[in-house]
Structure 1
Amino acid sequence: MSAIFEAIDDSLARWIARQPMFFVATAPLAADGHVNVSPRGLDCFSVLDGSTVAWVDLTGSGAETIAHLRENGRICVMFSSFGPQPRILRVHGRGRVETAGEVFDDVVARHPSLIGPRAVIVVDVDRIADSCGWGVPRMQLVDDGERGIMGPWAEKKGPQGLVRYRTQKNLESLDGLPALSLDEV
């Protein structure tokens, strides 16, 4: 019914690659801070090795994941099958934010169709576990599964417009924690 895995092997990596979305959970240290769960889609996720995963973090209206990781590093990434075979996979670890450099360039290059990356989130995995997923409904994707909004939105804004947007929306979290710095936007 459930299992704990030593590493993300080829079989798990293939299963992860077939999932059209995943969820990211982070939280600040403050007891009254906002816990954040973000859905992620598009072709942005990479298994770098058996104990390291990463994804391209696109420009968005908030920067909770970035702020929480910079404060404390705690993260859980969850994949859930919505198809005929039920399964939930949780990947726990310590996350970090890369806004430039070799790791950023490598992960972004793995996903060339994405426009407007603001960061790459890298997770050093310390626990991988699955569970049954029997309570998750079966659902089917519509068409190709992507809404086709994110890329055109980023293209229309252009590089300078994305910088302005990130300056307005991504410098701090809901709780006032620092997220992106001005030299990273």
Structure 2
Amino acid sequence: MAKQFTSLDAKHQEFIAEQHLFFVATADEGGRINLSPKGGDALRVLSPTRLVWRNLTGSGNETAGHLARVNRMTAMWCSFEKRPLILRAYGQARTVHPRDEDWDELDGHFPPHIGARQVYDMSIEMVQTSCGYQVPFMAFERDRDTLDKWADDRGPHGISAYWDERNRETIDGLPTGILPE
């Protein structure tokens, strides 16, 4: 049965730290809902009511476009390896770009990466756990290095050009704020 909490307790934080994958969902007032899987060393719990996750350059930029209009986000983790559990954090989030004043502080929680595009700073309003009984068992093999190699091959100028070409708008045409106007 689902249980609700006002913040992440120590057991929730331990569970999050054990997961190799999490999911993030956002939506604006209309248009498409975005649900993205995230892996690698991309998330930090800063307090029981605050988490940050770093977004690397990718094919879409839906989260930034959605948060510019409606600053709500859901993050979700589920256990594939141990006891069944699904954990969701609901809250409001803001997008921090490399040009923003607090970029260095927030991005500093993560190892350097040439493809770092945004950090999302989420204030948690509610946490919910549920059973996860139907989530299958799957074993973690390793993180992929494909995105790292892609970013290294492009270099800083190539990544900036990619942002300009592919990351300025969401699939629904919303501006993402990836580059200053």
Paired with 1:124 and 1:29, the residues of 2 have a C-alpha distance of 20
Q: How far is the alpha carbon of 1:13 from its aligned partner?
A: 1.3
TM-score (ref. length: structure 2):
0.93
Root-mean-square deviation over aligned CA pairs: 1.5
Give the match for residue 127 of structure 1.
Answer: 126
Give the match for residue 60 of structure 1.
Answer: 58
Per-residue deviation, residues 58-99 of structure 1 (Å, max 9, x unmatched): 111111011001111121111011012110001011111001
2:36 is paired with a residue of what secondary structure?
Answer: strand
**Structure 2, unaligned stretches of length 5 or more?**
none
- Once superposed, which parts of structure 1, at least 4 consecutive aligned residues long, lie more than 6 Å away? none
Deviates more, 1:114-123 or 1:63-72: 114-123
Give the match for residue 166 of structure 1.
Answer: 163
TM-score (ref. length: structure 1):
0.91
Give the match for residue 26 of structure 2.
Answer: 26
Question: Is contact 1:63-1:179 (8 Å) kept?
Answer: yes
Name the aligned partner's letter for residue 77 of structure 1.
A
Give the match for residue 157 of structure 1.
Answer: 154
Paired with 1:35 and 1:7, the residues of 2 have a C-alpha distance of 25
Paired with 1:103 and 1:22, the residues of 2 have a C-alpha distance of 24
Name the aligned partner's letter for residue 4 of structure 1.
Q
User: Could you tell me the percent identity over the aligned residues?
Assistant: 38
Question: Is contact 2:55-2:120 (8 Å) kept?
Answer: yes
Paired with 1:46 and 1:103, the residues of 2 have a C-alpha distance of 16
Question: Is contact 2:114-2:156 (8 Å) kept?
Answer: no
Question: Is contact 1:44-1:56 (8 Å) kept?
Answer: yes
Q: How far is the alpha carbon of 1:6 from its aligned partner?
A: 2.3
**Structure 1, unaligned stretches of length 5 or more?**
none
**Judging changes above 3 Å, is the alpha-carbon distance between structure 1 residues 181 and 84 closer, same or farther for their aligned structure 2 residues?**
closer
Paired with 1:131 and 1:123, the residues of 2 have a C-alpha distance of 21
Give the number of equivalent residue pairs: 180
